[in-house]
Amino acid sequence: MNQREIFLKHVAQTSPAPLALEIVKAEGSRLFDAAGKEYIDLIGGISVANTGHRHPAVLKAIQTQLDAYLHIMVYGEFVETPQVKYAQLLSSHLPATLDSVYFTNSGAEAVEGAMKLAKRVTNRPQIIAFDRSYHGSTQGALSIIGDEYWRNAFRPLLPGILHEQYGSFEMLQRITTDTACVIAETVQAEGGILPPSPEWMQALRARCNETGTLLVLDEIQAGFGRTGKLWGFEHFGIVPDILLLGKALGGGMPLGAFISSREKMFLLADAPVLGHITTFGGHPISCAAGMAAMEVLIREKMMDDVKRKEDLFRSLLIHPAIRQVNSFGLWLALKFDSFDTNKCVIDRCIDKGVLTDWFLFAADSLRISPPLMISEEEIRLACQVILEAIDS
């Protein structure tokens, strides 16, 4: 059997038709398959490779940590330098009320930890989430996913979950003194890049303040410069009570985090002790890689070009078949008339050497979330391929 056949037989499948590309190397904004074919990567591992694949500084940090130690003890027991330094770096670039970092294995685990923390802090039973939201596929995170298609097969799920319309001012009155937290994506990703109005986001923050409800912002995709600022919430003039990070947090290594104040976070350490615990969360290699990537993002001023690159994509991607373009930073959704049309364009793009995909709650839309260091030349070439794929 070849590698593809072995993959289909022995690696648990997540869909009936995986892309099944056999990638053997990645560098910058490019991927290379086993046959030597080269692809411009417009997905970036779903907003993971923000600083590009295999940035030299990230590789150096990984090698340095490899020479020191790998896993040594469950999270939170030992003083592990990569965790400490990265938590300090993150805190130094966040508001003062977000000064305590709990590193996890993934974004989904960060969501789980935040839900537990909100209930622990408020002693309230209810959580409000939003339609067309995505927060992960574990049981708790699945309970707050904003689409019944994805939830139904796995019921019963967590009780006390309300799903409301994202951006609705009317829903704000559903937030009461029974609500432990409101969990919202700062920009709805899988809905097809849907930012809220600043007025709604500020009203949401105000209503949470009025009712003593914690505001949890999911920036697992929106964080680390994707929107043109380090954190998406900076566009809206608010600060969350809990911030969720993942994806680009690890610089290409698996890592997530939920971040809050030390006062709130310490409640997970007592009554009961070990209120949230993880063996591999905040793995030293992942923290070393993530810190190096964040330093690169800031040092190389990658965010400075995000708006210009967004505008370049928008100026080039004009075609009668593209019904709408949603964007927020270097993060775009091209809307077609149907999933079938979109999937045909995606498949043709891949054939022509441009890797892209669709969105969970916007299957008619093509995803663009490349590494932030993608060049202007690569953008122009990728857009040319997309337009050719539409016309094929």
Same domain, 95 and 124: yes
pLDDT at 160: 97
Same domain, 156 and 287: yes
Same domain, 345 and 273: no
Q: How confident is the model at residue 392 (pLDDT cuts 50, 70, 90)?
A: confident
Whether the pLDDT of residue 255 is over 90: the answer is yes
Share of the chain above pLDDT 70, in %: 100
Q: How confident is the model at residue 105 (pLDDT cuts 50, 70, 90)?
A: very high
Question: Among the three residues 273, 299, 325, which one is the final residue of a domain in this structure?
Answer: 299
**What backbone torsions phi and psi does residue 194 show, to the nearest 5 degrees?**
-120, 100
The mean pLDDT of the chain is: 96
CATH number at residue 370: 3.90.1150.10
pLDDT at 56: 98
Question: Among the three residues 274, 299, 324, which one is the final residue of a domain in this structure?
Answer: 299
Same domain, 112 and 232: yes
Question: Among the three residues 282, 299, 316, which one is the final residue of a domain in this structure?
Answer: 299
Same domain, 67 and 16: no
What number is the average pLDDT over the span 166-186?
98
Same domain, 48 and 62: no
How many Å apart are CA 7 and CA 13, to the nearest integer? Answer: 9
pLDDT at 305: 97
Same domain, 81 and 122: yes
pLDDT at 17: 84
pTM of the model: 0.97
DSSP type of residue 253? B
Q: Give residue for tokens 């663009």.
A: 368
Could you give the angle at which helices 306-316 and 376-391 cross, rounded to 10 degrees? 30
Alpha carbon 380 to its chain centroid, in Å, reads: 25
CATH number at residue 289: 3.40.640.10
Residue 214 is part of which domain span?
Answer: 57-299
* Sheet arrangement for strand 38-41: 23-27, 30-33, 38-41, 354-355
What domain count does the chain have? Answer: 2
Alpha carbon 48 to its chain centroid, in Å, reads: 7
Share of the chain above pLDDT 90, in %: 92
pLDDT at 44: 96
Same domain, 7 and 29: yes
Same domain, 70 and 152: yes
Same domain, 36 and 126: no
Same domain, 41 and 163: no
Q: How do residues 263-292 score in pLDDT, each as one tens digit?
A: 999 999 998 999 899 999 999 999 999 999
How many Å apart are CA 374 and CA 166, to the nearest integer? Answer: 31
Q: Residue 130, SS3?
A: strand
Same domain, 295 and 306: no
Report whether 65 contacts 272 (CB < 8 A).
no
Report whether 144 contacts 138 (CB < 8 A).
no
Q: Give residue for tokens 């590494």.
A: 371
